[in-house]
Amino acid sequence: MTESKSDRKKSTAQSSSAKTASAKSGKNASSEGSAAKKGSKTTDAPGTASTSKESTASSPAARTQVIDEQPKLPTSHGKITIFGGPKDRGIKPDDKLALPTGPHGVYERIRSLNPKSFYCSMRWNYHVQHMTPEDVKRWWANKKIRVRNTKNDVAVVVRAVDYGPHENTGFDIGLSPGAAEALGVEIGDEVDIELADPKSPLGPID
Mean pLDDT of the region 97-111: 93
In a domain? residue 68: no
CA distance 11 to 87: 100
Residue 200 has pLDDT above 90, yes or no: yes
In a domain? residue 72: no
Residue 113 has pLDDT above 60, yes or no: yes
Residue 78: pLDDT band (50, 70, 90) is: very high
Residue 54 has pLDDT above 90, yes or no: no
CATH code of the domain containing 157: 2.40.40.10
Mean pLDDT of the region 104-133: 95
Answer for the pair 140, 133: CB distance below 8 angstroms, yes or no: no
Mean pLDDT of the region 120-128: 97
CA distance 123 to 161: 11
Examine the domain organization and report whether 44 and 85 are in the same domain. no
> Residue 56: its pLDDT value, please?
35
Residue 63: pLDDT band (50, 70, 90) is: low
Q: Which residue has the higher pLDDT, 101 or 26?
A: 101
Residue type, 10: K
Answer for the pair 74, 179: CB distance below 8 angstroms, yes or no: no
In a domain? residue 31: yes
In a domain? residue 55: yes
Parent domain of 48:
2-62
Environment class of 83 (CB within 10 Å of its CB; exposed 0-12, middle 13-18, buried 19+): buried
> Residue 26: its pLDDT value, please?
44
Examine the domain organization and report whether 83 and 152 are in the same domain. yes
Mean pLDDT of the region 86-110: 90
In a domain? residue 142: yes
CB-hemisphere CA count at 13 Å for 53?
Answer: 6
Examine the domain organization and report whether 57 and 120 are in the same domain. no
Examine the domain organization and report whether 171 and 85 are in the same domain. yes
> Residue 42: its pLDDT value, please?
37
Mean pLDDT of the region 10-26: 47
Mean pLDDT of the region 177-205: 97
> Residue 144: its pLDDT value, please?
98
In a domain? residue 81: yes
Q: 16, 37, 62 — which closes off a domain?
A: 62
Examine the domain organization and report whether 86 and 185 are in the same domain. yes
Mean pLDDT of the region 31-48: 39
At residue 65's C-alpha, the angle toward residues 128 and 120, to 5°, is: 60
Answer for the pair 84, 163: CB distance below 8 angstroms, yes or no: no
- Strand pairing report for 119-122 and 173-175: antiparallel
Among 86-95, 119-128, 131-140, the minimum mean pLDDT is found in: 86-95
Count of domains observed in the chain: 2
Average pLDDT taken over every residue of the chain: 79
In a domain? residue 156: yes
Mean pLDDT of the region 49-64: 41
> Residue 23: its pLDDT value, please?
44
Residue 38 has pLDDT above 90, yes or no: no
Examine the domain organization and report whether 45 and 93 are in the same domain. no
| Torsion region of 50: left, alpha or beta (phi above 0 gives left; psi -120 to 50 gives alpha) | alpha
CA distance 125 to 167: 13
Q: Which long-range contacts (CB under 8 A, 24 or more apart) does 187-191 make?
A: 187/80, 187/81, 187/82, 188/79, 188/80, 188/81, 189/79, 189/80, 189/149, 189/151, 190/77, 190/78, 190/79, 190/80, 190/150, 191/77, 191/78, 191/79, 191/80, 191/147, 191/148, 191/149, 191/150
In a domain? residue 71: no
Residue 71 has pLDDT above 50, yes or no: yes
CA distance 10 to 172: 92
